[in-house]
Structure 1
Amino acid sequence: MTTPPTSEGGGSPFPDTGRGVLVTGAARGLGRELALTFARNGDRVAVHHHSRPEEAAATLAALPGQGHVALRADLTEPERARALVAEAATALGGVDVLVNNAAVNLPHPPATTGFEEWVAAWRQHVDVNLLAAAHVSHQVAGRMIERGRGGRIVNVGSRGAHRGEPDHPAYGATKAALHALGQSLAVALAPYRIAVTSVAPGFFATERVAPRLEGAEGEALRAQSPFGRVGTAREVAEAVLWLASSAAEWSSGTVVDLNGASHLRS
């Protein structure tokens, strides 16, 4: 039986650099920025991807420091999720931080989507956005418990979990479920000094959504925030980095809104 780690004075013995970090969905966009941010911090990063080997290789090549690796896995297959964690742990010398970033966001407005397409969309969102994160988290947590030095799990959720996604209802629902999963894990894993948190970003700029920031749609997106702009991937990544730090242990269970006051909740 593994004994939960302890520390004197309520502080965390968890390191803030030199860690093994697994980022799912890290080939491009926010995932790439997350990988870069942790690498700049002095951590070793496993860049997970599913179907973008060239972009994952570009991310890997851009990371400063040593000990990084790119790993390919279809996380909708539970055994591949388990294998990914094992491969990351071997390559990095252990996984201290998991960032559940992999996600799909496919339009399926209920009024105009056929039933077969609707069912397929829901299945894909549940498999990737929720079940994959649950399976990877389970495997990472088990290894963190065995190592006995604590750990961090950070889920990338969404503002849409709170305000609704009329054209992407499965996305909003699975991100809400991801937030709830994180809170359940936070309670279950706290005795082992594993802190689990989530971020809920609003709209932020990446190369994938750059065309949406042009013209009238771009003006409308920027007007959602009283700051008059959209967020950046770097802002989200820096928040995740802090949540993965020793200083953030007492934030376990929280969902951090990162939306420039575009959606407020009590």
Structure 2
Amino acid sequence: MNLPSTGRRVLVSGASRGLGRAVAQAFAANGDRVAVHFGSRADEAGETLASLEGGGHVLTGGDLTDPAEAARVVDEAAGALGGIDVLVNNAAVNERHPLPGTPYEEWVALWQRHVSVNLLATANLSHLAAHRMIDQGGGGRIVNIGSRGAFRGEPDHPAYGATKAAVHALGQSLAVSLAPYGIAVASVAPGFFDTERVAGRLAGPEGEGIRAQSPFGRVATAPEIAAAVLWLASPAAEWSSGAVLDLNGASHLRT
């Protein structure tokens, strides 16, 4: 997908592999400069950085569940890039915890972890980056990675589905409050897509059933999702602020 390059400064959270890497690559191919954030996978983040077209890209590592670390990540990215024009909130966890088979202590811990990473880190990064955009003037973009599970239900991953629904709601609230500053905020809600994390499931016995969820008979690729993120961050997509864009190959149709 080729969009007019504006030489923007882009921070992508959780960009060491998978969708985050594909998003970073899409922006770099578009002529933008990217800050590649990682939590613990420094080596894989380095591979992402090395794969990016163009120059001026940087790495920034930190635990986003720590508000002070989140602030440092944004400061580091803005300092290296000279500012932030686009934030992509991609960092997330998705650990299996069906209620009937999960002990209470584990249940509590996993809910706290999902809320800390998927929701609070997204809220904190959005606050930090938006204030940078406001101070810079000229507007900006925030794109959140949500999930089809927010609408379809996630019986084996309920905290994931719930926190992604909250991310969608957060994005819509911020779309209203940040519009006067020229900052557009939107979310994508992907269905199943092929990454390293789910490769075993797709290759195993349940793979056929997962692919059959879509009438196309396949799952998405990470670059397909990244292309939508790139468009939502583009100057042409300002009027999509507040949208939650379904990217699920007609596997779940909302009414």
Per the TM superposition, whether the score is higher than 0.5 is: yes
Matching residue's letter, 2:98 = P
| Residue 109 of structure 1, aligned match among 98, 101, 105 | 98
| Residue 252 of structure 1, aligned match among 238, 241, 250 | 241
Matching residue's letter, 2:230 = L
Are 2:78 and 1:89 aligned?
yes
> In the alignment, what sits opposite 1:208?
197
Are 2:132 and 1:128 aligned?
no
Cα deviation for residue 214 of structure 1 reads 1.9
CA distance in structure 1 between the aligned counterparts of 2:26 and 2:148, rounded to whole angstroms: 22
* Percent pairwise identity: 72
Contact 1:109 1:169 in 2 (8 A): yes
Matching residue's letter, 2:198 = V
> In the alignment, what sits opposite 1:195?
184
Runs of 4 or more above 4 Å deviation:
none
Are 2:11 and 1:22 aligned?
yes
Cα deviation for residue 215 of structure 1 reads 4.2
What is the aligned length?
Answer: 252
Q: How does 1:155-194 map to 2 (within 5 A)?
A: 155-194=144-183
Deviations 1:86-118 (A, max 9, x none): 111111111000000000000111001001000
> In the alignment, what sits opposite 1:75?
64
Report the 3-state secondary structure (helix = DSSP H, G, I; strand = E; otherwise coil) of the residue aligned with 2:184: strand
Cα deviation for residue 16 of structure 1 reads 4.2
| Residue 229 of structure 1, aligned match among 196, 201, 218 | 218
Report the 3-state secondary structure (helix = DSSP H, G, I; strand = E; otherwise coil) of the residue aligned with 1:175: helix
Provide the aligned C-alpha RMSD in A: 0.8
| Residue 32 of structure 2, aligned match among 40, 43, 57 | 43
Q: Unaligned 5+ residue runs, structure 1?
A: 1-14
Cα deviation for residue 212 of structure 1 reads 1.1
Matching residue's letter, 1:87 = E
Report the 3-state secondary structure (helix = DSSP H, G, I; strand = E; otherwise coil) of the residue aligned with 2:34: strand
Deviations 1:171-224 (A, max 9, x none): 000000000000000000000010000000000001221111124311101100
> In the alignment, what sits opposite 1:140?
129
- More relative contact order, 1 or 2 (CA 8 Å, 6+ apart): 1
> In the alignment, what sits opposite 1:4?
none
Q: Unaligned 5+ residue runs, structure 2?
A: none
Matching residue's letter, 1:151 = G
Instruction: State TM-score, norm by structure 2.
Output: 0.97
Deviations 1:51-99 (A, max 9, x none): 0010001111111111100110100000111111111111111100000
Contact 1:16 1:246 in 2 (8 A): no
Report the 3-state secondary structure (helix = DSSP H, G, I; strand = E; otherwise coil) of the residue aligned with 1:111: helix
Deviations 1:9-68 (A, max 9, x none): xxxxxx843110000000000000011110000000000001001000111111111110
Report the 3-state secondary structure (helix = DSSP H, G, I; strand = E; otherwise coil) of the residue aligned with 2:50: helix
Matching residue's letter, 2:222 = A
Report the 3-state secondary structure (helix = DSSP H, G, I; strand = E; otherwise coil) of the residue aligned with 1:195: strand
